[in-house]
Amino acid sequence: MAERPRHPLLLPDELVAFREVGIEKRFLPGDRLVSIGDQSKEVFYVTTGLVKIVVVSESGTESMFGLRMPGVFIGDMATLNNERRSADVVAVESTTAIMVSADRFTTYLETYPSVALALLRMQSRRLNEMTERSILGGRSVKARIAQRLLELSTSSEHSDVVVLTQLDLAQFIDASREWTSKALGELRREGAIETARGRIIILDKFALRYALMDA
C-alpha cells in the first residue's frame, strides 16, 4: 500500500465526502473560528487561508501557540472529547473552512478510519511542535525567525511568501516586537528576506538556513 501523504490531511475523495456532511464558512482577517471557553460542538477543516491559535492572559497579553495552513482540522480533539475550547482560533488572512457538527464528525471518522489514523499522526506532530517551541526559546531571535519562516514556507502554497504581521511573528517565536524588528532588519540586510505590509518575502533560503546557526 502506498504511503499516505502527510499534507493535506484529507485525500481528494475524503474531502469530497467531508464537504457533503458539512457547511463551508468564510472568515475575514481577525474573525474567530472558535473562542476559548466555548463548548466544542463542531470541527473545522481549513481549505484556504491561514489561522492562528492564540490564548489571551488575564492581563490582556496574547500568546500565539501555532499557525495552521490549509489541509488540517481545527478543534478536533476538544470536540471528540466533548471539552471546552482551550484557545482562540483567529483568521490571519481571508480563510475558508468546512464546518461539521460533532455527531457528523464522529460518523465520518467511523466511515473513513484511515482519516482517524491520519488525525492521530497529526496530533503527534503537534506535540512535537510544542516540544520544538520550548527548545527554540533558548536560541537567538534571528535563529527562531529563520526556522519559523522556513517551516511556514514549506507548508505554504506560495513558498516564497509568508503572510504574517510582525506582531504575529513576534508572538509566534516568543520575542518582543522590538527584538523581532531588529532581527528582521538583519535578515533583510543579509539578503535573506524582504518585508512588506503583512507579509515576508523569502529571497534566499540558504541564507535563512545559515541564520539558524546564529547563537
Average pLDDT over residues 187-198: 90
pLDDT the model gives residue 155: 61
Residues 74/47, Cβ–Cβ less than 8 Å = no
Name, of 132-141, 169-178, 186-195, the range with top average pLDDT.
Answer: 186-195
**Interhelix angle 177-189/141-155, nearest 10 degrees:** 70
Grid cell, residue 198, equals 503583512
Round to whole Å and give the CA distance between 195 and 201: 6
Round to whole Å and give the CA distance between 95 and 33: 10
Q: Position 71: which residue type?
A: G
Q: What is the mean pLDDT of the chain?
A: 85
> Which residues lie across from 42 on neighbouring strands?
101
Place of cell 527548545: 135
Residues 88/35, Cβ–Cβ less than 8 Å = yes
Architecture of domain 139-211: Orthogonal Bundle (1.10)
User: Where, residue-wise, is CATH 2.60.120.10 in the chain?
Assistant: 12-135
Round to whole Å and give the CA distance between 53 and 87: 6
Grid cell, residue 30, equals 481577525
Place of cell 490582556: 60
H and E: helices and strands count for the chain: 8, 11
Average pLDDT over residues 85-111: 94
List pLDDT tens digits, range 115-125. Answer: 998 888 888 77
Beta-carbon count within 10 A of 162 CB? 21
Sign of CA dihedral 117, 130, 35, 51: negative
Q: With 80 as the cut, is the pLDDT of residue 134 above it? A: no
With cut-offs at 50, 70 and 90, classify the pLDDT of residue 1: very low
**The whole model's pTM is what?**
0.71
**Closest alpha carbon to 192 in 145, 152, 141:** 145
Round to whole Å and give the CA distance between 154 and 138: 23
Residues 111/176, Cβ–Cβ less than 8 Å = no
Architecture of domain 12-135: Sandwich (2.60)
Between 45 and 207, residue with greater pLDDT = 45
Pick the range with the lowest mean pLDDT from 15-24, 37-46, 153-162, 163-172. Answer: 153-162
Grid cell, residue 69, equals 495552513
Grid cell, residue 99, equals 464546518
User: Where, residue-wise, is CATH 1.10.10.10 in the chain?
Assistant: 139-211
**Closest alpha carbon to 45 in 73, 22, 87:** 73
